[in-house]
Amino acid sequence: MELLTKTLFLCAALTLTNAAPAQQADAAVEEVDPSLPNRCEGLEFDAVTPDEKGITFFFKGAHLWKGFHGPAQLSNESFKELDDLHNIGHVDAAFRMHDPDNADDHDHIYFILDDKVFSYYNHTLEEGYPRQIEEDFPGIPAHLDAAVECPKGECGDDAVLFFKGHDVYVFDTTTKTVKTKSWPHLPVCTSAFRWLEHYYCFHGHNFTRFHPVTGEVSGSYPKDARNYFMRCPNFGHGGDYQVIKCSDVKLDAITADDTGKTYFFAGPIYMRLDTSRDGLHAFPITRTWKELARGVDAVFSYSDKMYMIKDEMVYIYKGAVHYTLIDGYPKSLKEELGIEGHVDAAFLCPNEHTVHVIQGQKLLDVDLTATPRSVTQEMPIPLSDIDAGFCGPQGVAVFKGSQYYKYQTAMLLASSRIIPRPHIITSEMMGCRD
């Protein structure tokens, strides 16, 4: 079960508390080599961009950093043509872009150096590049400061934001037209970064989060990037990582939404895995679901909504760029699902309308298309003390502490009288200690 393997490997992120927006699965503090630039000293980046696999690259001069942890390395080791063909030693701007109208097209990384554009796929320069900026992005000036993609739904239509001083050039990737805006209230961005539907302007060793349409800044900014986008000693949570024992691993819930994002819940934090583009990220649960500071008992997704169960209450959030609690909620389990009592786990299989709820050693089925909703079937299961359940294309998995059990279907979970061999979370899977 591919997702389960990925799930267990990534559970290490859930061992962190008060997770910051860094790739918290990285276990150690930034390593220092005195012969290389050290971003923990407070550098101003030339460019920041994710690649097609979701790994974020930070560029400074002739060097780059892969991800939120690790030492610097020469840029031309990963993108050799930037140095071989242009030889200017640094990148002006970089961004990742995808053509949503072309199903066969993949994510590409674009680098802009002076008046040239380099397009890479899988770290290989595409044929015909480098080109003049005007060829790919007519109306965009040379010698830019920063650039960032802005997909449809966040910027109206698919676009790229190009920054030069306080001017922002909004390039519509479909119509190839440009609108120019001035955002004097925003610092001059030396690099820009889109991350989990949020937009960041990097300036000096700080960053400011902004709205991609209005440029509006909400909250207290600037903030030091070392507290959020890298692991540095004496900054953020750089010294707070604790490697837990594999036998102490415990998940509260798992679900996947309609967009391909998978969510893992454990105590006061959650982990989001964007299987297609943006990698793994861990956060406090209140960052997205402020009403659930004490965590969840069970979660499932249905019809572009996320159902979150805590105690005997159901919270339903409408899915969009950000989850919002639907008016009138929370409601009682009895009112919403026709169930009373504590819920241990819940899961919904793809393209189905029946949620499977685990209470003790019972599996309860609820038809989500019915009004009012009620239990349509109740069956015993051979396992007790289940913590979480998940159903995907590869079948059903139920989690119990640091072990999980696999079944082909929910019916086999209920009908089986022999408990299958448990799969054990190991240090090789998730970096925990034996």
* Residue that is written with structure tokens 């297609």 in the block: 276
pLDDT recorded at residue 344:
97
Burial 280-315 (b: 16+ CB within 10 A, else e): bbbbbbeebbeebeebbbbbbbbeebbbbbbeebbb
How far is the first Cα of the chain from the last one, in angstroms, to the nearest whole number? 23
Q: What is the pLDDT of residues 17-35, one digit of tens each?
A: 333 344 433 334 445 677 7
Q: What is the pLDDT of residues 319-330, one digit of tens each?
A: 866 789 999 999
**CATH class of domain segment(s) 246-430:** mainly beta
- Sorted by where each begins, the domain ranges of the chain are 28-227, 246-430
> What is the homologous superfamily of the domain 28-227 according to CATH?
Hemopexin-like domain (2.110.10.10)
pLDDT at 119 > cutoff 60: yes
pLDDT recorded at residue 70:
84
Q: Hey, what are 370's tokens?
A: 């019915």
pLDDT recorded at residue 106:
65
> CB under 8 Å to 282, separation ≥6 — which residues?
13, 14, 16, 19, 24, 25, 269, 270, 271, 272
Can you tell me the distance from the alpha carbon of 179 to that of 45, in angstroms, rounded to the nearest whole number? 26
In three-state secondary structure terms, 163 is strand
In this chain, the answer to whether the domains covering 28-227 and 246-430 adopt an identical fold is yes
pLDDT recorded at residue 51:
87
Find out whether 317 and 330 touch, Cβ atoms under 8 Å: no
pLDDT at 335 > cutoff 60: yes
C-alpha of 33 from chain center: 30
Can you tell me the distance from the alpha carbon of 84 to that of 12, in angstroms, rounded to the nearest whole number? 39
Can you tell me the distance from the alpha carbon of 192 to that of 207, in angstroms, rounded to the nearest whole number? 9
Residue 135 pLDDT class (50, 70, 90 cuts): very high
pLDDT at 53 > cutoff 50: yes
Question: How large is the average pLDDT for residues 263-287?
Answer: 75
Strand bridging mode 223-224 / 198-203? unpaired
> Which of 10-14, 200-204, 339-343, 398-402 comes out lowest in average pLDDT?
10-14
> CB under 8 Å to 57, separation ≥6 — which residues?
47, 48, 49, 50, 51, 64, 65, 66, 78, 94, 109
pLDDT at 68 > cutoff 90: no
> Structure pTM?
0.65
pLDDT at 7 > cutoff 60: no
pLDDT recorded at residue 316:
97
Can you tell me the distance from the alpha carbon of 25 to that of 276, in angstroms, rounded to the nearest whole number? 18
